[in-house]
Each structure stands twice: as structure tokens, then as C-alpha cells.
Amino acid sequence: MAKLIELKGISKSFDGEKVLDSIDFYIRDGEFVTLLGPSGCGKTTMLRIIGGFETADEGSLYFDGAEISEVPAHKRHINTVFQKYALFPHLNVYENIAFPLRLKKVPEEDIKTKVAEMLSMVKLSGFENKSVSTLSGGQQQRVAIARALISHPKVILLDEPLGALDLKLRKDMQSELKSIQQAIGITFVYVTHDQEEALSMSDTIAVISEGEIQQIGTPTDIYNEPKNAFVADFIGESNIVDGIMLEDNRVKFSGHIFDCVDGGFDKNEPVDVVVRPEDVDVVPTDKGMLTGMVTSVTFKGVHYEIIVDIRGFKWMIQSTDYVAPEATIGLYIEPDAIHIMKKSKYSGMFGDYSSFSDEMDRLSDADTAEEF
């Protein structure tokens, strides 16, 4: 697939604060790309630069091989679905969707058939004459998507489009968006802070933190082979412990030597070791590679979330079997469940569950809704 959009050395500062730091990135034609990162990481700014609402301080932007850094928004073949929908309140549903075609002076007959087509695609047939202010959030979102798609742009940008919807509706819209994208084959660039959303919808994910791209890859790559502690922690749950790479396929951490499947490190190089909570098996202490005491157990529906203290480091384990708090248990880890990462500036910042609580997680989720 050809590169459709390319960012070369894009930097941007607001009031002297660097939001994007020389970003190099490209998007292939027909891809579903997600820019994923916490609030304030620069992902929305990146999207606004592609859309033409901000200009980069440095670097250049290419579209279909031509530089468009200086091309104003209305001349770019890129449409956006905004976070707060930005439907035109003075127009009804039909006129909102027809808006881009009216600008191009498309004959009324064609407009009629195209709007009807779009409305049936987003499952809003029969809503033509409704005022947009009477629609629910999900319906407004669909109108916004129809309006962005009707003039067949090569790319549509979606800025946390599902952020304001409730969980159930969000899940429905996720699969609907994905099927719309596959049906029409337009490139989608999607911004979100929701890692689940990113994993379930994307062809490619770019994980962004502090204005830099941390990792680009397919959802499985990013989940199974995170590049550093930030990515490992941000995507899913991870236990990240300090380890020493004794030799290829042999790593020592938490006082035990493990077999693993990673190599290519220096002898005795300090590394970060990632073990996903679902990859740890609870076994009797005599069969365990590691032993520790259970400090808390939380029922999560599908599984129990167990926090285990191993040599002062709190591990999170997900198990379908109940264990009692204060019990001493053994842990067994398969070699391919161990992922080794080079040390980075994020080492030691994430992956310990000693201060973990559900409440804090929810609080930080609420924060991210305030993305600028």
C-alpha cells in the first residue's frame, strides 16, 4: 500500500511548551490508524496539523506525495469528525449531510440519492427533517460521520468521536465504524485514549507519549511486544520488573532464572521484564517458580484480580480460580509469556501495583476526557 499521508520532522509548541517533538510517521492508503496516548500527549494536535487547523512550527506534511504544509484546511481532501460533533444547529439532518455537496454545486437529484445512501449506511433513514439538536449523542455522531464521508474524501480524521457516548453505545459504534471503514475502504485516522478501542479497531496503532511516538505496530505487536515500559503499561495491564539478561533466552528477575524467547541483548544487560497478568498461572508453592503472599483479591466477573507481594514488588495476576487473601501461593510463568525490553526513560515508572486501586484508574480516565 502506498503512503498517503507522511509527517516528516513535525514539531509544535504552544506557549513555549513542546507538544510534538519531531514526529516522523506515515499512514498508508486504506488503513485504519489509531493515535493512542494519554491526555495531553499531543495526539489531538497531530490530528489538527493533518487536518489543517494548526500549522507545525517545523517539519513538513505530505499528502499523496505532494507537500501540503501550507495548504489551508478547506483545500485538503481530508474531512474530520470532531469530538463534539460540530453539527450545524441551524440546519436539519438532511442539510447537514448535504452541506459539502451544496458547496460543490452538485445537482439536487444527486444530492438526494447520496444523502439517502449515507443515511441508510449510518442507520438513520427517516431522520432527514429532524433538527440536529433533538438527536441523541449517538445519532449526532452518526450524522457527523455521514457528513464527513459524503464527499468521498481520501482520509477522514476522527478526534475521540466516541468519547461522549456511554459504554454500550461506544462498543456498538466501534464495530460499526470499523465495518463502515472496511466497506468503503477510506483511510481512517482515529485519535483515542482508550486502549481497548484502539486494539479492537485498528490496523496500525501509534502509541504517543510526551509528544513522541513510542511505538508503531499492529495491535498484536503492540500488546505482545511492547517497546518500553510506557507502552507495556498503557496498553493493557503489565507487571514490569527489573531483570538481568544473562544470555540469549535466559533472564534473571525476582531471584529466579527463567527461560524466555528473547535475545539480542548484551551479556548481563539490565532490562525491563514484562509479564501480563493473564499469563501467570497460580500453582502450589512447591511447584512455583516464584512464591508470594496474596495481599488482595477482587472479583471482576470473568476472573479474579489478585495482587501478590513477591520480594516487596506487587504483581497483578488474573486467575479464574479463587485464592484467599494472606495465602502464600506459587507462580508459574511460561517462557513465551516473558517479554524483555531495553531500559528506557520510562523504566521504573510503571508496572508495580503497590499503589494500584480501581478508583485511581477511574479518576485518571475522567481526566483524559479533557483532551484539548
Binding mask 55-94 for another protein (x = CB under 8 A): -----------------xxx---xxx-x-x-xxxxx----
Q: Which stretch binds another protein (CB under 8 A): 144-152, 204-212, 311-319, 348-356?
A: 144-152
Size of the site for another protein (CB under 8 A): 27
Q: Minimum Å distance from CB 128 to another protein?
A: 18
**Per the structure block, which three cell numbers stand in for 93?**
439532518
- DSSP string covering 36-75: E--TTSSHHHHHHHHHTSS--SEEEEEETTEE-TT--GGG
Q: Minimum Å distance from CB 42 to another protein?
A: 19
- DSSP string covering 114-175: HHHHHHHHTT-TT-TTSBGGGS-HHHHHHHHHHHHHTT--SEEEEESTTTTS-HHHHHHHHH
Q: Which stretch binds another protein (CB under 8 A): 48-56, 216-224, 239-247, 353-361?
A: 48-56
From residue 179, how far is each of 77, 104, 121, 313 by CA, in Å? 22, 28, 10, 43
Residues 100-139 that bind another protein (CB under 8 A): 100, 103-104, 133-134, 136-137
Q: What are the backbone angles phi and psi of residue 313, rounded to the nearest 5°?
A: -105, 125
Cβ proximity to another protein: between 100 and 288 the closer is 100
Of positions 37, 51, 163, 217, contacts another protein by CB under 8 A: 51
Cβ proximity to another protein: between 90 and 311 the closer is 90
Of positions 1, 3, 24, 53, contacts another protein by CB under 8 A: 53
Cβ proximity to another protein: between 42 and 51 the closer is 51
Q: Which stretch binds another protein (CB under 8 A): 46-54, 270-278, 296-304, 355-363?
A: 46-54
Contact 52, 24 (CB under 8 A): no
SS3 content of the chain, % helix, strand, coil (to 5): 30, 35, 35
Contact 154, 107 (CB under 8 A): no
Cβ proximity to another protein: between 73 and 363 the closer is 73
**Per the structure block, which three cell numbers stand in for 274?**
514484562
Contact 27, 189 (CB under 8 A): yes
Footprint of another protein (CB under 8 A): 51-53, 72-74, 78-80, 82, 84, 86-90, 99-100, 103-104, 133-134, 136-137, 147-148, 151
